[in-house]
Amino acid sequence: MEQALNKDNKNFANINNLKVRYPYGQTDPYAIVELIATSKIEGDKYNIDQMPALSARVSHAASGKTGLDAEKDKGLMNYLAENFHLTPFEHQSATFKIVTPLIVARQWMRHRTQSYNEVSMRYSADPVGKFYYPEIWRLQASTNKQASLGEVENQKECSNVLEKAYENSLSAYNKLLELGACREQARLIVPVGNYTEFYATANLRNWYAFYKLRIANDAQWEIRQYAKVIGEILSEIWPNSWNALLRNSK
């Protein structure tokens, strides 16, 4: 299986069961992570999953050793990650299409080492009305202003309040358009629970930095599910280089 997977990696990861993942489960009609493209390596001499070892060995003019001994390649990548020599992990990149609530997108884009292009509600009304509904309403943590802990007792009432607010905002948005207001102003009323979509590209090192921060227990649940999916995909397309970072990097 690993051998077959690595063979596919030589020409852009395009494995059908990796293409689309559902961070909130398939019952959510909008939330997705879609793998769009990954780095390509030319020819058959090397595998893209060996890229950290290949690029690191150039320091000793020994790149040609890469691929001769798979265990040594893995060992070198583990050593690099363990000792925080991470520039060799910057030579392979991945692009994802992300569909996520605005509350997640605004946290996500604090990661300024990624490159983004996002749908504009100035140009299109299509995203408006695609809303996120939490399955569980969480209590505000008493000791941390930015954390939640436990569950609200009256779950149904919370959902009813949110649904009504969404309905009112969508009705008001459509009314503004009917009155002739432009989209760039009508969007003022769009709630942060509305879905947006964007493309995000980063190298492996910076995907790991994103993953490490957003998979943590103190990260918001809504973005943690996306980090989990990103990690799963990267682990499957680049098992050796990604897992070297997971096991060894501080």
The residues assigned a catalytic role are 214
CA–CA separation, 211 and 199 (whole Å): 17
Residues 6 or more apart in contact with residue 93 via CB below 8 angstroms? 38, 39, 201, 202, 203, 204
CA–CA separation, 12 and 78 (whole Å): 24
Amino acid making up residue 206: N
CA–CA separation, 24 and 198 (whole Å): 17
- The answer to whether 244 touches 205, Cβ cutoff 8 Å, is no
CA–CA separation, 76 and 235 (whole Å): 18
- The answer to whether 200 touches 214, Cβ cutoff 8 Å, is no
Backbone angles phi, psi at 101, to 5 degrees: -60, 155
Strands 93-101 and 148-151: unpaired
